[in-house]
Structure 1
Amino acid sequence: MIDLAIIGVGTTGIATAVEAKRLGVQKITLFEKGEEHSMTIRKFYKDGKRVDKDYKGQEVVLSGSIDFKDGDKEGTLALFDKMIADHSLEIKYKSEIESVQKNGDIFVIHTSGGESYEARFVVVAIGKMGQPNKPSYSIPLPIRSLVNFNANGVKEGEKLLVVGGGNSAVEYAYDLCNHFDTTLNYRRSEFGRINDTNAQELKKAIESGKLKTKLGVDIVALSDEGGKVGVEFADGSKEVFDRAIYAIGGATPLDFLQKCKLSLDESHTPIIDENCESGVKGLFVAGDIALSSGGSIAIGLNHAHKIAEEISKRL
């Protein structure tokens, strides 16, 4: 049992763990889908680039114990390296979280690798930079609105193709096939990356005849077929669909937030209270993902302090 699970190991996630440890919270685990912490800074900041405490000049007074100042990319990464080491933070890298579900007073956290963890409190501190993986072949302009990376745009009566072999693709497929003509395509013939529950639901959907499959064969090209999606497979076959849904990794923040059952406003920003707590009691949201407009490292650090204080009181 984890006291505090933190999803996202950027500056806000690390700060939340540090502040919580300072206030006596001991069983803390951080989860990061990347190979290192602070992936947004590593990926989107050039070497030597300035890293500001505040965003576009908005001045924020830091309320916690972390005295962060303007610096550069290398200095910022070194500072958070030191914070991780000094506080012996437990971080699970290459661990992408697919969903967070509340079971009574306990949160059950599911990873894309099929692992699950239990926690008393959860903090979502992911950035907004997450993007879905896209196919290597081109998507013709006329059908781009029909090639999606989630199921939000599906319309009544459509014939659907779901592409992918992970939990998200399988969940889309066995759910959609109850109401739509749905085919699931995966380049392999077996699903080695899905959890047991999804494996059982997939088997039932296929055996019932509700879900069609096109397994063990890759897609080589898409084409515009009079406003529909033409799909050419590596075995030489071709089929036309009203819509294609790709779930081939790199889940978007919106998908993840919806799976966590968070209430969102019109800009898809989580609705939180003054303590950064969502409508799901015990689940907090911090940093950029909690803001409708641009945030800053300083705001994220203040979120971290506020959340840590609230959790330490309850524990």
Structure 2
Amino acid sequence: MYDIVIIGGGPCGIASVIEAKHAGLAKILLLEKGENHSQTIRKFYKDGKRVDKEYKGLDSTTKGSVEFFDGTKESTLNYFDKLLDEGEFEAIFNVEVESVKKNGDYFEITTSKSGFKAKNVVVAIGRMGKPNKPDYKIPPSIMNLVNFNLNNCGNGEKIIVVGGGNSAAEYACELGKCNDVTLCYRKEKFTRLNDINEAAVYESEKNGSLKLLLGTDISELSNADGKVCVNFTDGKSEVYDRAIYAIGGSTPVDFLAKCGIEMNGEDPIIDEHFQTTTKGLFVGGDIASKKGGSIVVALNNAHTIIDYIVKNK
């Protein structure tokens, strides 16, 4: 019987482990479906990417035991490594949670490999584990040429990057160094880029390493002799070697339902302590906030959750 089982090894999950250890909880288990912690940072952040403490004007003051600092992808991962290496707890990677059910005073957590029991459960999975996909169908015959991160990208390819956020901008600028890259965004101008990425995009366009296709939307993809034919809503089309979508992530509604978490649309119903309508079952991190993406907010979620658990043991 664990005092707490934490599902998800991102910032909120990591901080939940640290806060629980500092609070004196003895039996702590972290479950992560990836092969290591911080999968979003590992998979969706380019090497050397800046990781800022302040995010979109949100409060950047850390409130618990876990501090955070401006850095890079690499320094952030190293920092989280160090945090997790201190103290005793159990962690199981490459395991996917299938369901969480309340059974009297404890929870039964069923995974693809085994089952566990816990007094409290924190669901701390992110949205980027389930990246948004376009409304139109992606033909199966070109699925291997359509990506949602930089995996499998080579050099010398003709690539279209779709999206108007920071990830899309960073992907496009990075790939433009050794590929023929077009950044496609449905709006006439960027509205979500930070100053650094916006400047980088226009500088890349100026030096010829990036083409911008603004105010243009896509109607469908099709197979053009083994390549990706992008058909635009204005009736034009263009053939690319690869398409990369960076259009954010979505709440894993089906999984949350299997955990018995009541929802209001795509938002879990939680109180000020991030507790769901089921006592002892909490949700933190990206899926607990409509303004997800802030590492500091995720860390503070963990502090609030563990503080409440300890005070109400």
Query: If the length of structure 2 is used for normalisation, what is the TM-score?
Result: 0.61
The letter of the residue matching 2:290 is S
Structure-2 residue corresponding to 1:287:
285
Aligned pairs for 1:151-190 (under 5 A) are: none
8 Å CA contact 1:288, 1:300 repeated in 2: yes
1:136-285 correspondence to structure 2 within 5 Å? 138=139, 253-266=252-265, 268-285=266-283
1:189-219 residue CA offsets vs partner (Å, 9 max, x unmatched): xxxxxxxxxxxxxxxxxxxxxxxxxxxxxxx
For 1:38 and 1:304, the matched residues in 2 are separated by 15
Q: Does residue 51 of the first structure (1) align with residue 51 of the second (2)? A: yes
Q: Which deviates more from structure 2 when the two are superposed, residues 32-41 or residues 51-60?
A: 51-60
Task: Tell me, yes or no, if the aligned pair for 1:55 and 1:294 is still in contact at 8 Å.
Answer: no
The percent of aligned pairs where both chains have the same amino acid is 54
Partner of 2:93: 93
Residue type at the aligned position of 2:87: H
Amino acid at match of 2:306: A
Amino acid at match of 2:7: I
Using the TM superposition, give the Cα deviation of residue 262 of structure 1 relative to its aligned residue in structure 2, in angstroms: 1.0
User: Which SS does the other structure have where 2:254 is aligned?
Assistant: helix
Q: Please tell me the root mean square deviation across aligned C-alpha atoms, in Å.
A: 2.3
**What amino acid is aligned across from residue 74 of structure 2 in structure 1?**
E
How many corresponding residue pairs?
202
Structure 1 residue 116 displacement after superposition:
0.8
Note the C-alpha offset of 1:107.
0.3
> Is the CA contact (8 Å cut-off) linking 1:130 and 1:252 kept in structure 2?
no
Query: Which ranges in structure 1 are unaligned for 5 or more consecutive residues?
Result: 141-250
Shift of 1:313: 1.9
Distance 1:119 1:282 in 2: 9
Matches within 5 A, 1:31-70: 31-70=31-70
Structure 1 position 116 matched with structure 2 position 112: no
User: What is the CA deviation profile of residues 100-153 of structure 1, one whole-angstrom value per residue up to 9, with x for unaligned ones?
Assistant: 00011110000023x110000000000012239x9xx9359xxxxxxxxxxxxx
Structure 1 residue corresponding to 2:301, chosen from 300, 303, 308: 303
Please tell me whether the aligned partners of residues 276 and 303 of structure 1 are also in contact (alpha carbons under 8 angstroms). Answer: yes
Q: Name the SS of the counterpart of 1:3 in structure 2.
A: strand
Matched residue type, 1:129:
M
Shift of 1:64: 0.5
Equivalent pair of 1:13/1:125 in contact (CA under 8 Å): yes
Distance in 1 (alpha carbons) for counterparts of 2:110 and 2:59: 38
Report the alpha carbon displacement of residue 314 of structure 1 after superposing the two structures with TM. 2.7
Gaps of 5+ in 2: 142-249
Q: Distance in 1 between matches of 2:105 and 2:10?
A: 27
Following the alignment from structure 1 to structure 2, what is the Cα–Cα distance between the partners of residues 309 and 112? 30
Residues 68 and 298 of structure 1 are in contact (CA less than 8 Å); yes or no, is this contact kept in structure 2? yes
Task: Letter of the 2:68 partner, please give it.
Answer: F
| TM-score, length basis structure 1 | 0.61
Alignment match, 1:4: 4
Q: Distance in 2 between matches of 1:96 and 1:42?
A: 18
CA distance in 1, matches of 2:312, 2:59: 31
What secondary structure, in the 3-state scheme, does the structure 2 residue paired with 1:95 have? coil
Deviation at 1:86, TM superposition (A): 1.0
- Whether contact under 8 Å (2:40, 2:129) holds in the other structure is no
Cα distance between partner residues in 2 of 1:44 and 1:94: 18
